[in-house]
Amino acid sequence: IICNKIDQLEEVEPKIDRDEDGMPIRVWLSAKTGQGTELLFEAINDCLAQSMVSYTLKIPPAQSRLRGVLYELDCISEQSYDAQGDWVVDVRMPAAD
Protein backbone atom coordinates (compact mmCIF):
# COMPACT_ATOMS: atom_id res chain seq x y z
CA ILE A 1 0.00 0.00 0.00
CA ILE A 2 1.30 3.45 -0.85
CA CYS A 3 0.22 6.25 1.47
CA ASN A 4 0.81 9.39 -0.58
CA LYS A 5 0.40 13.09 0.26
CA ILE A 6 2.17 12.98 3.62
CA ASP A 7 3.16 16.59 2.88
CA GLN A 8 -0.45 17.49 3.76
CA LEU A 9 -0.31 15.78 7.16
CA GLU A 10 1.28 17.02 10.35
CA GLU A 11 4.01 14.99 12.02
CA VAL A 12 4.05 12.20 9.42
CA GLU A 13 7.49 11.28 8.14
CA PRO A 14 8.43 9.07 5.18
CA LYS A 15 8.72 5.46 6.32
CA ILE A 16 8.17 1.82 5.44
CA ASP A 17 5.84 -0.27 7.59
CA ARG A 18 6.85 -3.94 7.56
CA ASP A 19 5.13 -7.17 8.55
CA GLU A 20 6.47 -9.61 11.14
CA ASP A 21 8.73 -11.16 8.47
CA GLY A 22 10.24 -7.80 7.55
CA MET A 23 8.43 -7.51 4.23
CA PRO A 24 7.14 -4.06 3.23
CA ILE A 25 3.39 -3.64 3.59
CA ARG A 26 3.02 0.15 3.47
CA VAL A 27 5.14 3.05 2.25
CA TRP A 28 4.47 6.60 3.44
CA LEU A 29 5.62 9.26 0.97
CA SER A 30 4.88 12.47 -0.87
CA ALA A 31 5.06 12.28 -4.63
CA LYS A 32 4.71 16.07 -4.76
CA THR A 33 7.81 16.84 -2.68
CA GLY A 34 9.68 13.61 -3.41
CA GLN A 35 9.94 12.74 0.28
CA GLY A 36 10.05 8.98 0.70
CA THR A 37 10.33 8.07 -2.97
CA GLU A 38 13.65 6.35 -2.26
CA LEU A 39 11.80 4.25 0.33
CA LEU A 40 9.30 3.19 -2.34
CA PHE A 41 12.17 1.93 -4.51
CA GLU A 42 13.63 0.13 -1.50
CA ALA A 43 10.28 -1.56 -0.77
CA ILE A 44 9.86 -2.63 -4.40
CA ASN A 45 13.38 -4.03 -4.43
CA ASP A 46 12.76 -5.93 -1.18
CA CYS A 47 9.57 -7.49 -2.61
CA LEU A 48 11.17 -8.46 -5.90
CA ALA A 49 14.29 -9.88 -4.25
CA GLN A 50 12.15 -12.29 -2.24
CA SER A 51 10.57 -13.70 -5.37
CA MET A 52 13.86 -14.34 -7.21
CA VAL A 53 16.22 -17.31 -6.97
CA SER A 54 19.83 -17.59 -8.12
CA TYR A 55 21.76 -20.73 -9.05
CA THR A 56 25.11 -21.65 -10.55
CA LEU A 57 24.71 -24.54 -12.96
CA LYS A 58 27.32 -26.77 -14.58
CA ILE A 59 25.93 -28.06 -17.86
CA PRO A 60 27.75 -30.66 -19.99
CA PRO A 61 27.76 -30.26 -23.79
CA ALA A 62 25.32 -33.18 -24.13
CA GLN A 63 22.65 -31.04 -22.41
CA SER A 64 22.62 -28.30 -25.05
CA ARG A 65 18.80 -28.20 -25.03
CA LEU A 66 18.89 -26.87 -21.47
CA ARG A 67 21.20 -24.12 -22.64
CA GLY A 68 18.62 -23.10 -25.23
CA VAL A 69 15.87 -23.03 -22.62
CA LEU A 70 17.92 -20.78 -20.34
CA TYR A 71 18.54 -18.38 -23.23
CA GLU A 72 14.81 -18.32 -24.01
CA LEU A 73 14.04 -17.52 -20.38
CA ASP A 74 16.58 -14.65 -20.52
CA CYS A 75 17.79 -15.54 -17.03
CA ILE A 76 21.56 -15.83 -17.58
CA SER A 77 23.62 -13.37 -15.55
CA GLU A 78 27.14 -14.85 -16.01
CA GLN A 79 28.61 -17.65 -18.08
CA SER A 80 31.95 -19.35 -18.69
CA TYR A 81 33.44 -22.76 -19.50
CA ASP A 82 35.42 -24.94 -17.12
CA ALA A 83 38.52 -27.04 -17.90
CA GLN A 84 36.35 -30.04 -18.86
CA GLY A 85 34.41 -28.01 -21.44
CA ASP A 86 31.25 -27.83 -19.35
CA TRP A 87 29.21 -24.66 -19.48
CA VAL A 88 29.13 -22.92 -16.08
CA VAL A 89 26.28 -20.46 -15.86
CA ASP A 90 24.79 -18.24 -13.17
CA VAL A 91 21.05 -17.84 -13.57
CA ARG A 92 18.56 -15.59 -11.81
CA MET A 93 14.84 -16.05 -12.31
CA PRO A 94 11.50 -15.73 -10.57
CA ALA A 95 10.91 -18.55 -8.09
CA ALA A 96 7.72 -19.55 -9.94
CA ASP A 97 9.65 -20.43 -13.13
Structural domain boundaries in the chain: 2-50, 53-94
Residue type, 38: E
Contact present, 33 and 56 (Cβ < 8 Å): no
The predicted-structure confidence for 12-64, as pLDDT tens digits, reads as follows: 999 999 999 888 999 999 999 999 999 999 999 888 777 788 899 999 988 88
Supply the pLDDT for residue 96.
Answer: 67
Supply the pLDDT for residue 28.
Answer: 97
Strand (E) or helix (H) holding 47: helix 37-50
The pLDDT of residue 7 is above 90: yes
Residue type, 91: V
Strand (E) or helix (H) holding 77: strand 76-81
Supply the pLDDT for residue 50.
Answer: 75
Query: What are the angstrom distances between the C-alpha of 26 and each of 19, 22, 36, 86?
Result: 9, 11, 12, 46
Assigned CATH for 53-94: 3.30.70.240
The pLDDT of residue 94 is above 90: no
